[in-house]
Chains A and B, each alone.
Chain A
Amino acid sequence: MLDIQKIRADFPILTQKVNGKPLVYFDNGATSQKPQIVIDAEVKYYQEINANIHRGVHTLSQLATDAYEISRGKVKDHINAKFAHEVLFTSGTTFGINLVANGFASILKPGDEVIVSSLEHHSNIVPWQMLCEKTGAILKVIPINENGELIIEAFDALLSEKTKIVTVNHISNALGIINPIKYIIDKAHAVGAAVLIDGAQAVPHLKPDVQELDCDFYAFSGHKMCGPTGTGILYGKEEWLNKLPPYQGGGEMIKEVTFEKTTYADLPHKFEAGTPNIAGGIVLGTAVDYLNNIGFENIQHYENELLEYATKRLLEIEGLKIYGTGKNKASVVSFNIDGIHPYDIGSIIDKLGIAVRTGHHCAQPIMNFFCIPGTIRASFSFYNTKEEIDQMVEAVKKAQTMLS
């Protein structure tokens, strides 16, 4: 059992008032709030050990380097990667996906196929479209059903020896649906295709085991899991990271530079050109520790309770429809009210202190599928409460009255 009040006390922002009302923060899918321990770690880094890493011989540089590499090790353990050098620090999920898509430009040939799904965030669509334009490869899309679930038979039918990479999210950002990624990975491997998993929405809710999943790449962001903004991780299997060319050139990623030829550094540095977000990388490790201390089993159990409660309470509202009604879901509820634009609801409940996301959630193909301009998305974290859900339901009812 989680002591929610104790946990809430870790997050200073949660005591704020917004528009004169106590803040109810249900936009966790966009970014999570940060516990004091994470904020303190960021300050401590700059106060005590700020120095550039990996090259300095002086003490501060070594301390900063050690802290950075310890953090990499924490992430490695957290996702159960085989080696720490398979864990690349990035600026976020988008960067990680672009790194892989860019690398595949040297692998794909005209007529090869890339499979994405209809549930993807734009950042897991556009880099692949760009890749296909560049290489002459063809983009194939796994469709969804009315519940917002991938039609898995359609995926099976899309797979062939032409498929070179399959890229899907672990959990849909717009609907909260958890995808059957183990099945997708195994099936894709059977035809020799690589698999990238966009884990941005998964890592706040669960602990991915990349070896058990056997995915080739797993990309996620730090800021959605209590870490600082501008941090992220790309996990890649060693063999793949060796195969892909570097993404950016610069310092740190080289072994030797002459004007005739440059040789690249070993993993992970080959993909970490330039001075990285040192503070962010170190503090991401603090965030991982924080979440593991609470425990992902506890988090999942409690968030499922919130999801069930919110679903039940919201459905009491007349004319309310939930999108993404598949069984396997994370704590996200995406909904609309009959005849009312989500923007109108969002604007009014904001006045009542409720922070939700409205719009297409950077997943326009899903909105087109349901023929809607967008939804209202409430995404819950382990620091949210049922009382807050009650407040949201009351706010939505008030908005509905005002708008109809």
Chain B
Amino acid sequence: MTIKEIQNEIIDEFSMFDDWVQRYEYIIELGKSLPLIEEKYKTDENLIKGCQSKVWLHGEENSDKIVFTADSDAILTKGIIAILIRTFSNQKAADIINADTDFIDEIGLKEHLSATRANGLVSMIKNIKMYALAFNAKNN
């Protein structure tokens, strides 16, 4: 599936919820089921320093795609990471670079990406794109 298709699928899933409580409960579930990053990748180097919650992100090449794994010490952050991983992992570098994250607004999680939350999510998206840029540069 393309990034856009996955994002539309996520929007569809979230449209089933009536209120924020259901949305948040779903995110918490996603957070709990996020496959963890391997301990050896939970390094300071892979730590994205947000103001409040920690986020670890690791990316590696798998043929022409990039596979991301990640973790966080806050469960809501972890849930949103799960959504981002689902969107961007196993995609081609060029597609990751060109993708937008407007769907986060559409599923009612905009506040988690605002500057004041300072939770590492904005930096996480930036780092996902940086990985993609780096892989792209290396392979061209």
B112 nearest in chain A by CB position: A347
B71 to chain A, nearest CB (A): 12
B103 at interface by CB-CB < 8 Å:
no
B77 nearest in chain A by CB position: A343
Q: Which of B21-29, B61-69, B128-136 contacts A (4 or more CB under 8 A)?
A: B21-29
A359 at interface by CB-CB < 8 Å:
yes
A351 at interface by CB-CB < 8 Å:
yes
Contact A342 to B24, CB < 8 A, known contacts A347-B76, A373-B73, A403-B75 = no
Contact among B24, B51, B118 with A351 in the assembled complex (CB-CB below 8 Å): B24
A225 to chain B, nearest CB (A): 23
- 27 inter-chain pairs at a CB distance below 8 angstroms, sorted by A residue, are A19-B20, A340-B75, A341-B73, A341-B74, A341-B77, A342-B52, A343-B53, A343-B74, A343-B119, A344-B74, A344-B76, A347-B24, A347-B111, A347-B117, A348-B76, A350-B111, A351-B20, A351-B24, A359-B51, A359-B52, A359-B118, A360-B51, A373-B52, A373-B53, A373-B73, A402-B21, A403-B28
A347 nearest in chain B by CB position: B76
Q: Which of B25, B53, B54 has the most CB of A within 10 A?
A: B53
A358 at interface by CB-CB < 8 Å:
yes
A29 at interface by CB-CB < 8 Å:
no
A344 to B74, CA, bound (A): 6
Question: Are B28 and A374 neighbours in the complex by a CB distance under 8 Å?
Answer: no
Q: Digit string of A328-357 for contact with B (CB within 8 Å is 1, else 0)? A: 000000000000111110011011000000
Question: Are A344 and B75 neighbours in the complex by a CB distance under 8 Å?
Answer: yes
Within 293-335 of A, Cβ neighbours of B (below 8 Å) are at none
A94 to B28, CA, bound (A): 38
Q: Which of A343, A347, A350 has the most CB of B within 10 A?
A: A343
Contact among A343, A360, A373, A374 with B76 in the assembled complex (CB-CB below 8 Å): A343
Contact A343 to B52, CB < 8 A, known contacts A373-B73, A403-B75 = yes
Which chain A residues lie closer than 8 Å to B25 at the CB level? 402
Q: Digit string of B104-120 for contact with A (CB within 8 Å is 1, else 0)? A: 00000001100001110
Using C-beta atoms within 8 Å of the partner chain, give the interface range for chain B. Answer: 10 to 19
B5 to chain A, nearest CB (A): 29
A347 to B112, CA, bound (A): 9
A350 nearest in chain B by CB position: B111
Question: Are A373 and B54 neighbours in the complex by a CB distance under 8 Å?
Answer: yes
Which chain A residues lie closer than 8 Å to B21 at the CB level? 351, 402
A381 to chain B, nearest CB (A): 21
Which chain B residues lie closer than 8 Å to A344 at the CB level? 74-76
A138 to B85, CA, bound (A): 47
Q: Which of B54, B73, B74 has the most CB of A within 10 A?
A: B74
B123 to chain A, nearest CB (A): 15
A359 nearest in chain B by CB position: B52
B113 to chain A, nearest CB (A): 12
Which chain B residues lie closer than 8 Å to A351 at the CB level? 20-21, 24
Q: Digit string of B71-95 for contact with A (CB within 8 Å is 1, else 0)? A: 0011111000000000000000000
B51 nearest in chain A by CB position: A359
A293 to B107, CA, bound (A): 48
A351 to chain B, nearest CB (A): 5
Q: Which of B20, B76, B118, B119 has the most CB of A within 10 A?
A: B76
A350 to B52, CA, bound (A): 15
Contact among B24, B53, B111, B118 with A341 in the assembled complex (CB-CB below 8 Å): B53
Closest 3 CB pairs of A and B: A341-B74, A343-B74, A359-B52
Which chain A residues lie closer than 8 Å to B111 at the CB level? 347, 350
Which chain A residues lie closer than 8 Å to B75 at the CB level? 340-341, 344, 403
A33 to B78, CA, bound (A): 33
Question: Are B53 and A348 neighbours in the complex by a CB distance under 8 Å?
Answer: no
Question: Are B28 and A358 neighbours in the complex by a CB distance under 8 Å?
Answer: no
Which chain B residues lie closer than 8 Å to A341 at the CB level? 53, 73-75, 77
A395 to chain B, nearest CB (A): 12
